Structure 1
Amino acid sequence: MRYDPTHIQAEDNGTSPIGDPEVRDLWPALLKGWRRKCPHCGSGPLLCSYLKVNDTCTVCREELHHHRADDGPAYLTILIVGHLMAPLLLLVFETFRPDPLILFTIFAVGCVALSLYLLPRLKGAIVGFQWARHMHGF
């Protein structure tokens, strides 16, 4: 099969490459999702509970049920927390030599707190990314 770039190029009338007239900016959508707000209007709540995404925005009525975040937020949370806490654990252990139980307690609480903070924000950012890129029916 031969690649033909002409079938995906945007026309001069302002349409996006896939024929949708609305071009959505990525970074504003990611920031709105990080703030757990609707990626379209930025003022309606994205989540109705800790990780449950609203079916529609209560302000602009944008449909949000199309999202497919699945395991992405959990994977990114583990990746970020692991890459932040592992070097910090080594640094604290080598520098201060605290009692192992104190070290474990501090880092266990820190890992759980950071994970609980990041998880809904990363889910919002992933939903915002999917919305901006017209993925999964957005």
Structure 2
Amino acid sequence: MSKLTLGAHPYLLGFEQLERLVERTAKSGNDGYPPYNIEQTSDHSYRITLAVAGFGEDELSITVEDSSLVIRGRQSEDDADRVYLHRGIARRQFQRSFVLADGVDVGEAFLQNGLLHVDLSRKVPESVVQTIQIRKGDKA
């Protein structure tokens, strides 16, 4: 018995990209750091919040790459003169990726109390009804 994939289903025309998107998301390699929340702030907007304690604004970057929101953090190594008796606060670089649906735009981002907030909004598509004319002929 052969496996029926999403892109090969006869009623789902043009969804091959969705299958590739699911595969890409599964391979994203996010390891759980830093922890984050995703909340719906209205019917058409969202907020992603990452716990980035210890990171400054200049040590964080937010980009949109190939329909993905990518948030990176890299702290400078200026601790050479410090002697830690215990080091429980992580100071490691990270990359966290979120796949964005078509029509989702990244708005503003702000850092507050060790939390990085990134606002997203989704454009509501207009409802379109298209009438297709049927013509006579034997074009195959």
So what's the TM-score if we normalise by structure 2?
0.22
Higher strand share: 2
Q: Which has the higher contact order (CA 8 A, sep 6+)?
A: 1
Larger Rg: 2
So what's the TM-score if we normalise by structure 1?
0.22
